[in-house]
Structures are given as C-alpha cells and as structure tokens.
C-alpha cells in the first residue's frame, strides 16, 4: 500500500475511521457501532516493503487478533484498518498510542512459558532522523476495550477512559505508572531499517495465561511523547513477514 510520505510540518492527508470490528471483540455488546466522525486530518506514513525481515519461528508465532490506533488530535475517532500503528508525539499535532491484542487461549500453563517476544516491524519515518529518542514502552491496559469503539477518549461506546489516551497498569501494578513491562530505545539518530524490533513481554503474557489478570492486550506508547514519532507495520499490512507478531516459547516437558 503506497501512501504519501511525510515530515512533521507537511500537509496532512485525510484519514477515514473504521467502523467494522475484526474477528474478535474485547468486551462490550455486539450491537454497538463505532464512532463515525471525520477525523482531524493527518499525514499517512508511506508503506515500505522490506526484504530483510527477521524470520520468526512459525510453530511459536501467535497471530494478532486486533490492533487499534489512539490519536489525541482525533479523540473520538476509531482507527482500526490502517497498515501502520504509530506512537510518540508530533509537535503541533499531538500524541499517538496503540492497543494490541493477541489470542492466548491455546496456552493454559504459565509456568511452561519460558519466553514471550513481541516483534514490531519499524519502517517509518523513512530516512529521517528525529529530534528525540523514541523510548518504546509496553503497559497492561487497565480494562477491556471494544475494537469497534475504542478511541483516545473512550474504551467503548459511552464508556470513557478515566484518563484520555487510555488507562494502564505498569509492571508494579501501579495505575498510570511509569515502570513498563518491556521497553526498547530507537535512537533519534537511527534510521528505520525495515526489520523487526523485539520486546520481551514474558512477564505480562504469563500473568495473562495464569489468569492473574484478564487478557487486555498491550498498550504501547513512548516515554516522552514529544518529537519522537515512529510507525510500525500493523496487522493490516500485506506482507505477512511485517505484521506484529507474538512469539511464545515453551519449555520441553520430558
């Protein structure tokens, strides 16, 4: 999918919100409809098809079920079908966050999980350095969210987030805390190299599989959310070897 490339000061391109859910919902009634507003215009990252993606072991890869973008400048708009997910902040535009959910129903023994890796394919902004490092962070969404209706302000139709932009818990179970379950740093001087970057989410996945917490997925953001905008390929991208992937390794049982 080819879209117009951008920098922070270029004229945005109109974006149409999605109103259809993917195959699985997170909580909420089936008869609710997505917010259907015309969002504030924004520039769409250019889709890049790479040739050097990391090969992920198929036997352990868990297919993504849902990904949704949250955009501060379009607080009441649902974004679900884009070929990219984006995080960070853009001066004069606002903040971006994302929600991801993987189906973990095939796993029933948390103690048998030795490792869980979330792989995100970084491709944008192509060939452009950024003023700030993008410190990518993973948190646990505080409540179930409905992909038909989730926005910057609401987790479902008529159900607001306590904090706009999403409610979360950190690894210490602190509400809106700043101790992420996983983090990586994309230096501002680094150029996207069209490959996967990995985050170790073992602890969070084990908490979900054990039943300690309901599986509400991952909330992804950057630490400072200012001049650190980056984009990854989403589950909607055409190339299967560029989509977000959760790889779970299990111990060998004699």
Q: Residue 185 is part of which domain span?
A: 58-250
The reply to whether 34 falls in a domain is: no
SS3 assignment, position 60: helix
Q: In this structure, is residue 62 part of a structural domain?
A: yes
Asked if residue 172 is part of any domain, the answer here is yes
Q: Is residue 102 part of a domain?
A: yes
pLDDT 10s digits, 156-202: 999 999 999 999 999 999 999 999 999 999 999 999 998 999 999 99
Q: Is residue 53 part of a domain?
A: no
How many domains is the chain partitioned into structurally? 1
Q: How far apart, in whole angstroms, are the C-alpha atoms of residue 170 and residue 204?
A: 10
**pTM for the whole thing?**
0.78
Tell me the backbone φ, ψ of residue 240, rounded to 5 degrees: -65, -30
Is the link from the previous residue into 125 a cis peptide, with omega within 30 of 0? yes
pLDDT tens digits along 6-40 = 333 333 333 433 333 333 333 333 333 333 333 33
Residue 81 lies in a domain: yes
Chain centre to alpha carbon of residue 193:
19
């Amino acid at each position: 999918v080819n879209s117009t490339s951008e920098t922070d000061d270029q004229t945005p391109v109109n974006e149409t919100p999605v109103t259809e859910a993917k195959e699985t919902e997170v909580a909420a009634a089936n008869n609710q409809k997505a917010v259907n507003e015309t969002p504030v215009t924004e520039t769409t990252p250019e889709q890049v098809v790479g040739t050097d993606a990391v090969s992920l072991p198929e036997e352990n890869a868990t297919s993504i079920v849902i990904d949704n973008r949250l955009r501060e400048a379009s607080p009441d708009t649902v974004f679900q079908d884009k070929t990219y997910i984006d995080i960070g902040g853009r001066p004069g535009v606002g903040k971006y966050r994302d929600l991801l959910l993987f189906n973990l129903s095939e796993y029933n023994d948390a103690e048998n999980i030795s490792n869980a890796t979330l792989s995100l394919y970084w491709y944008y902004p192509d060939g452009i350095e950024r003023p700030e490092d993008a410190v990518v962070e993973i948190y646990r969404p505080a409540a179930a969210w409905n992909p038909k209706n989730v926005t910057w302000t609401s987790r479902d139709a008529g159900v607001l987030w306590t904090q706009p932009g999403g409610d979360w818990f950190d690894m210490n179970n602190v509400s809106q805390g700043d101790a992420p379950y996983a983090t990586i740093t994309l230096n501002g001087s680094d150029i996207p190299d069209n490959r996967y970057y990995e985050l170790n989410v073992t602890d969070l996945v084990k908490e979900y599989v054990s039943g300690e917490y309901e599986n509400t997925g991952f909330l992804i953001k950057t630490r400072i959310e200012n001049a650190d905008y980056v984009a990854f390929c989403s589950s909607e991208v055409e190339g299967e070897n560029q989509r977000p992937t959760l790889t779970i390794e299990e111990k060998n049982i004699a």
